[in-house]
Structure 1
Amino acid sequence: INQDIQQRVISYMDYEGWDSAAVQFYITSIYTKSIYEAMSRVSHKLVSYVNVLETLLNSLCYNSSLDKAYLFDMQTKLFIATDSSPSVSKSHEFCCSTIGLVEDLTKMYSRFQMGPNGQQNSHLTSVIHLQANISIFSYQVNERLILVCLSSDKISQKTSLLAFNARKVTTALQRVLEFSSSRTNSRISNSRTNTSLLIDSHESIEQN
């Protein structure tokens, strides 16, 4: 079925004269959480500054000894960006479950305290250890976005370091988002402006 769909799509695009367009196919199902990963792959292609976010997440993984890091939209459970390391088949499912748990805990036990300027004063942090020797660290960037990181090592001994590094990356993320919102009609590329956004945050991330 998958091969037949691909052939029909490519044939239709050739017929319409769209043969130069790049097409990618993802095997998924609306009945499993794989649909979130497939839609994430599509949506993050539309983010013009995804390379900037990937660089930040690469830095977080390197300096904190993490295997994988995602920036998720909590409402849709789609990741906006991830680091450049390969994804594990179950990693996205673990992340979605973590986000669901964080949402439940937030509703039950806490509400975000917002400052007079609309800035968030506190960040929800969680550490979850799974039986499959996987630890998940999450750090809420704002009411909509959350960092979810995976590690094959137990990270309970370095929670403070992870929180510090995540806070620095969050500051850089907020600057990127603010820059993007003020320039909605322009695309962010690897320019000197983007480089200056990253240097401050990278220099302040501590080495594990």
Structure 2
Amino acid sequence: MNYDYPHINDSEITDTLEDSAGSDKPRILLMGLQRSGKSSIQRVVFGKMPPNDTLYLESTTKIQKEDITRSFIDFQIWDFPGQVNFFDMAYDSQEIFGAVGALIFVIDAQDDYSEALHRLFFTVTSAYRVNQNISFEVLIHKVDGLSDDYKIDTQRDVQQRMGDMLADAQMEHIHLSYYLTSIYDHSIYEAFSKIIQKLIRELPTLENLLNVLCQNSGIDKAYLFDTLTKIYIATDSSPVDMQSYELCSDMIDVIIDIECIYGAQVSSPNGRLSISDEEDEYGNGGDENHHGMNGNGRSLQDQYDQEDDVNDDNESQQQPSLRRTDGVGQNESEASSLIKLDNGDVLYMREVNRLLVLICLLRHDNFEKHGLIDYNFQCFKEAVTEVFEFSQKRNNQQQQQQQMVHLSQQQSTNE
């Protein structure tokens, strides 16, 4: 299937690919037609741009590559211009798609998506021939202006038509996942959370640890959030309720906003940039909530943006690595926050490390045993630290093996 792609400056595309070829970070590709919302998604989720500001973004004319290095998860996200055929002979498809973990195709649900479906079929089948390990994800985007019934009908129609096209090509074994998304609500964050989780090898272990924590602490729901992106990298096995997820996600913004307003009064004992735990007993003085603050009065966002990266983990080829920070597992003063909801439930947040937080939803009666919950959290934190240390060693070994193979190939070529 051929497409009439408009003329574009191929030299800019080639230069971008050459600059990126040397990176061994796993890649997540954003693809789709022009004006489908790819750049807006990247800027909102990973650049913290307000959704309304994306209305002024210009069309992408070359690959926009961004290293997600200030996050707990470590990978590259590539935003592809919609008018370029990267399966053309002018480009090295193996170079582009060989190290891809996930390919995300964005469809504008408010437009006629017939052409988008044909492009999706061409992209998926071509990329699958290059790399069969790619996870194919479809974002049915801009659904904020659609009714609930129309959203469901649109998703059903897209899935049915794509299924028929793949079946006709005898490629029905290719699996696609579909998500209804919008940058104006939490749906885009939940979709990226599920996409990222597929690429994390430690996910089953993290889920088991969260299950044990919830069972032994009376917690109804628990999420491990990457603080800067608000993507949850793991949750317990109970079903994800959008309302509880939105509450936990908004809690991160609330804490950062309060820090920006009020600053802090005390610093951590060892001088680390961390939010110190307020010593007020739960419910004293009729306060609805209390929050720990940053020891030096800076917000979490400033803290993460200004500090140097620490302990950069080595990456496997197609899976994002998980970062950990110095001092994890020691007795540093972690961030802590507590919010009491109107219905009597409690939102409780504890900092695992500088880039990762645990947010729990539980009933008021269960939180009266907060001493037991805090003890169980420390056990959970130590276990998570061991998982990441093991993951780091494994990634180091894999990278060394890859380097040895690469060196041997170079020597063979020189000979």
Scaled to the shorter chain, the TM-score interval is: 0.7 to 0.9
Is residue 96 of structure 1 aligned with residue 249 of structure 2? yes
Structure 1 residue 58: Cα displacement: 0.3
Corresponding residue for 1:161? Answer: 372
Residues 104-123 of structure 1 aligned to structure 2 (within 5 Å)? 104-106=257-259, 108-109=263-264, 113-114=271-272, 118-120=326-328, 121-123=332-334
Gaps of 5+ in 1: 188-208
For 2:176 and 2:267, how far apart are their aligned partners in 1?
A: 42
Corresponding residue for 1:128? Answer: 339
Gaps of 5+ in 2: 1-153, 274-324, 399-415
Match for residue 72 of structure 1 among 217, 225, 239: 225
> Once structures 1 and 2 are overlaid, which stretch shifts more, 130-139 or 71-80?
130-139
> Once structures 1 and 2 are overlaid, which stretch shifts more, 176-185 or 106-115?
106-115
- The alignment yields a C-alpha RMSD, in angstroms, of 2.6
Larger proportion of helix: 1
Q: Cα distance 1:131–1:61, how it changes in 2: closer, same or farther (>3 A)?
A: same
Structure 1 residue 54: Cα displacement: 0.4
**Is the partner of 1:40 in helix, strand or coil?**
helix
TM-score (norm 2): 0.41
TM-score (norm 1): 0.78
The number of aligned residues is: 186
Q: Cα distance 1:132–1:12, how it changes in 2: closer, same or farther (>3 A)?
A: farther
Query: Counterpart of 2:368 in structure 1: which amino acid?
Result: Q
- The answer to which structure, 1 or 2, has the higher relative contact order (CA under 8 A, 6+ apart) is 1
For 2:196 and 2:356, how far apart are their aligned partners in 1?
A: 15
Larger proportion of strand: 2
Corresponding residue for 2:386? Answer: 175
For 1:25 and 1:92, how far apart are their aligned partners in 2?
A: 19
Query: Counterpart of 2:272 in structure 1: which amino acid?
Result: M
Q: Is the 8 A contact 1:135 1:155 kept in 2?
A: no
Structure 1 residue 45: Cα displacement: 1.3
For 2:387 and 2:172, how far apart are their aligned partners in 1?
A: 34
Query: Counterpart of 2:174 in structure 1: which amino acid?
Result: A
For 1:154 and 1:119, how far apart are their aligned partners in 2?
A: 33
Q: Which structure: larger Rg?
A: 2
For 1:12 and 1:185, how far apart are their aligned partners in 2?
A: 42
For 2:225 and 2:267, how far apart are their aligned partners in 1?
A: 19
Is residue 63 of structure 1 aligned with residue 216 of structure 2? yes
Q: Is the 8 A contact 2:219 2:366 kept in 1?
A: no
For 2:391 and 2:179, how far apart are their aligned partners in 1?
A: 29
- CA deviations on 1:99-118 (whole Å, 9 max, x unpaired) are 11233345522776439x93
Match for residue 359 of structure 2 among 148, 154, 171: 148
Q: Cα distance 1:170–1:105, how it changes in 2: closer, same or farther (>3 A)?
A: farther
For 1:137 and 1:83, how far apart are their aligned partners in 2?
A: 15
